[in-house]
Structure 1
Amino acid sequence: MGEHEDLAGRRTRLAAEMERCGAWPADSPWLREAFAALPRDRFAPDRLWRWDGWAYVPLDRAVDPGGWADELYGGVHSAAVTQLTGGLPSSSLSAPSVVADMLDSLRLEPGHRVWDVGTGQGWTAALAAWRAGPGRVVTTEVDEHLAALARARLSDAGLDVEAVTGNGTGGGLPRGGPVDRLHATYAVETVPWSWVAAVRPGGRIVYPWGRLGHVALTVADDGSSARGWVQGLAQFMGDRTGPAQPSTGPAAYARVRADAEPEARRALDRDPAGLEDWHLRFALRVAVPDAVLFTEQREDGQAVLVHDGDRSWAEIRPGADGTPLLSQGGPRLIGDEVLTAWSQWEDLGRPDLYDYGVTVTPDAQWAWQGDPDTGPRWPIGTGPEPAD
């Protein structure tokens, strides 16, 4: 079987898998056609990177076309790493399900003017252009090398898209004035006000929010604010020009803890298995945004590890009699912060992640739950506290 036939089969299988798992948005049937017309392999570089458990190893299309295609079409929820910087991923082709979900959240219509912030390989800009029409999409990429490659791919696909090199986070309006839709492909904890100012009143901004979740904001009629609901659990690479997000995984935890002994230890009266609930995980992300939490299987059972990327850490693991024990250390008792947020989530009735939203003004940003005006609030970033 030739590569062309093999890729065609993988595209068909991906579309069928999207159907089986309900990943095709019902309100945006155009996405099926766009995915078929502009498959992700047309925008993939000839080298991808696969994690082998120890490090990222290259998969070259010319050397191992099957392995390359396996990585590119790993599944509806699987991203493909397309670039490393300092041994860590710095660009990727996002998971098909997440791309579809975010473009559905954008509520994109023909004729809309779109700013795609973070071109990467150019795939999302291409899909947006397929919907919006010729000359309606401008895409910005801070990496000049990536911008040039994406520009060539977009041209080869016959798409009229303006692809420019620049810092989308810190820049102002793209050429041509305000846009109807802004679609960001990298994560920011706080929304640059320049994004809100770039979108017409009533327009939408869809962006990955920090380490976990993506949000769709609608700009107010007077342009003085933007707010909207959480849409899903996307995990994207962070803004390369902004503050670094805490790293995840055992190695990051080990760096934070080093050889420190616990400064506090106590038994818990709750089952740490509850932390496997992703709605709870999202609530913790809102209330303790710098807390990185993950689980690790050890000889004595499953451990829950938490750190803040700096010097504070916590660990929950079974004691000798099976009772969960919390150990923690560092300048702050981050384990207690997580447990307090857990209790707050339960007191709120265990809301799901779609019951949270974000409000952005020129002076402050905050998350809320239930109701944007009367629900509980949590400040975002280091700006002023939200007003009651």
Structure 2
Amino acid sequence: MSDAVSEAGSLAGHRQRQDADMERQGQWPQDSPWLREAFAALPRDRFAPGRLWRWDGRAYAPVDRAADPDGWAGEVYGDVGTAAVTRVDGDRPLSSLSAPGVVTDMLDSLRLEPGHRVWDVGTGQGWTAALAAWRAGPGLVVSSEVDEDLAAFARSRIEAAGLDAAVTVGDATHDGVPGGGRVDRLHATYAVETVPWSWVEAVRPGGRIVLPWGWLGYVALTVSADGSGARGWVHGLARFMGDRRGPAQPGGGVAAYRTVRGDGEPQDRRVLNRDPEGLTDWHVRFAVRVAVPDAILSTTVEDHLPVVLVHDGDSSWAEARRHPDGGTVLLQGGPRRIGDEVTTAWSRWEDLGRPDPYDYGITVTPDAQWAWQGAPDGPRWPIAPVRQAVRQAVRPAARQAVR
């Protein structure tokens, strides 16, 4: 048996396993059965480059198709909630094939129908643009990619799949729809903290925008009938790459926290009547992210006890430590009391009845943007620009409701 035949058989097996895993985990959307057909017609491996990158716990290591075809296939068809990293810059991922479960959920949220004109923002390897073109039809999908090499790669893979979709090089965060006019649907694959107003202007009234908002979730917005704004609900949880042309946000973890804290002594020390381990709850984390968007939280363990580290990427920091006697101490330093901001947001979440992330949404107008809870006229928080992050897409939580 030739190596090519053997590899083809291996890939076929991986595709079948992914299909079964998606079925078992409930990742095939009932309202969008076309996605399962499109995945079969456009296998993920056909949009993967010959070199992928695997995190080994310390650094990203290359996994080459030529040298390790089984390992490469394992990266392409790993867990359905895991992205396959396709480009790195040191220890920072720059591009990926998004997790299959994220892709299906976002495209289901887009409510894409044949005949829709689509703007795919952030082409990457071209897989989501290809899936959208398979559904919408020939000549109806245009995709924007800031990286010329990635755009060329995606263009070649889309053409090899026999699809008619345009891939252009440009900065979609600041430019309009390539070729002009308005689209029916906009699908973004990289995270933004504030929604570019040009994206809302690009979509016809009543049209749909699905985008990763910040570093934790994605939202589905509907443009108002008069085009004066857009609003919609959180539809899923996942981490995404950020706008590569935006300034990078410092990451989490102990090292980043130590960099911000430095050697300074705490300027504020007090007893906290809370268990810091509560901040490992992703519902709490999401509420804090909404209320204090520049707070970067990490959790660690020291002497078998939980420690929560918080910083703003600049000069303010806090840490909450549980002591062996059961009490918790909050230490803070810097020009703002970011620990107090986090605990206040935590208390507000409790006062609101401990809502889950799918009970939040955002509204976008030409002059302002804000997040809200429960209903568009409910409690709200302003959305202010913060430093963009470059992050890897990870497993989403199951969507609770279709909005």
CA contact (8 A) 1:238 1:245 kept: no
Q: 1:222 aligns with which of 221, 226, 247?
A: 226
CA contact (8 A) 2:276 2:322 kept: no
Question: Counterpart of 1:70 in 2: which secondary structure?
Answer: helix
Aligned to 1:151: 155
Q: Distance in 1 between matches of 2:324 and 2:69?
A: 51
Report Cα offsets for 1:145-172 as digits up to 9, x if no partner: 1001110011111110100000000001
Matched, 1:377 2:380: yes
* Matches for 1:1-388 after TM superposition, within 5 Å: 2-373=6-377, 375-382=378-385
SS in 2 for 1:285: helix
Aligned partners of 2:69 and 2:256: how far apart in 1?
Answer: 33
Count of aligned residue pairs for this structure pair = 382
User: 1:267 Cα shift?
Assistant: 2.1
Q: How far 1:233 moved relative to its partner?
A: 0.7
**Root mean square deviation of aligned Cα:** 1.5
2:223 partner amino acid: V
1:321-360 per-residue CA deviation (whole Å, 9 max, x = no partner) reads: 1322222222211111110000000001111111111100
- Taking the aligned partners of 1:74 and 1:382, their CA distance within structure 2 comes to 34
Identity %: 72
**Partners of 2:161 and 2:244 in 1: CA distance:** 28
Aligned letter for 1:158?
G
Partner-residue secondary structure (3-state), 1:2: helix
| TM-score under structure 1 length normalisation | 0.95
Bigger relative contact order, structure 1 or 2 (CA pairs below 8 A, ≥6 apart): 2
Residues in 2 aligned to 1:242 and 1:293: alpha-carbon distance in whole angstroms: 21
Determine if contact 1:286/1:367 at 8 Å carries over to the other structure. Answer: yes
Q: Does structure 2 retain, via aligned residues, the 8 Å contact 1:285–1:291?
A: yes
Structure 1 runs (4+) deviating above 6 angstroms are none
Q: Which amino acid aligns with 2:157?
A: R
Task: Read off the aligned partner of 2:141 and give its amino acid letter.
Answer: V
Partners of 2:305 and 2:323 within 8 A in 1: no
Q: Please, what TM-score do these two structures have when normalized by structure 2?
A: 0.92
Report which stretch shifted further, 244-253 or 87-96.
244-253
Q: Residue by residue, what CA displacement relative to the aligned partner does 1:40-62 show, whole Å, maximum 9, x if unpaired? A: 11101111111111111111111
The residue identity in structure 2 corresponding to 1:79 is A
Q: Displacement, 1:179?
A: 0.2
**Whole-angstrom distance in 1 between the partners of 2:12 and 2:151:** 27
8 A Cα contact 2:168 2:178, kept in partner: no
1:378 corresponds to which letter in structure 2?
A: W
Cα distance per residue 1:35-92 (max 9 Å; x no partner): 1111111101111111111111111111111211222222011011111135411111
Return the offset for 1:320.
3.6
CA distance in structure 2 between the aligned counterparts of 1:251 and 1:80, rounded to whole angstroms:
25
Aligned to 1:289, what secondary structure does the other structure show?
Answer: coil
SS of equivalent residue, structure 1 residue 109: coil
Q: Secondary structure at the match of 2:52?
A: strand
Q: Which moved more, 1:85-94 or 1:346-355?
A: 85-94
Contact (CA 8 Å) 1:246, 1:290: kept in 2 or not? no
Give the distance between the partners of 1:2 and 1:254, measured in 2 at CA. 50
User: Secondary structure of 2:85's match?
Assistant: strand
Structure 1, gaps ≥5 residues long? 384-388
- Report how far residue 265 of structure 1 moved: 2.0
Per-residue deviation, 1:242: 2.2
Letter in 1 for 2:289: R
Q: State the Cα distance separating 1:176 from its structure 2 match.
A: 4.8
Contact 2:112 2:135 in 1 (8 A): yes
